[in-house]
């Protein structure tokens, strides 16, 4: 999957929400990490719910706000969401 510049920069800036220590220090390292971890981008918060549910995560009863605040979910400026499995 090709990741947009804003996607990579958002992850690089906010990776601390998912990891205790940085997994990437540079743009290139962040891009490689996203590729290696097979991170996905979904169009909206309902797509987040569907994706996590398909992975087997128990998202039943979680509000959309709770989904958006999940550590592995990175809201992007364009309204899409990056999901990174930790």
pLDDT in tens for each of the 86 residues of the chain?
799 999 999 999 999 999 999 999 999 999 999 999 999 999 999 999 999 999 999 999 999 999 999 999 999 999 999 999 87
Taking CA atoms, 41 is separated from 25, 50, 74, 85, in Å, by 21, 12, 9, 12
Contact (CB, 8 A) for 12 and 3: no
């Amino acid at each position: 999957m090709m990741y947009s510049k804003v996607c990579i920069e958002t992850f690089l800036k906010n990776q601390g929400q998912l990891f205790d220590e940085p997994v990437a220090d540079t743009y290139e390292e962040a891009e490689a990490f996203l590729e290696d971890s097979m991170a996905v981008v979904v169009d909206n918060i309902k797509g987040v719910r569907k994706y996590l549910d398909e992975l087997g995560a128990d998202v039943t009863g979680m509000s959309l706000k709770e989904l958006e605040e999940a550590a592995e979910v990175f809201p992007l400026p364009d309204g899409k969401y990056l999901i990174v499995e930790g």
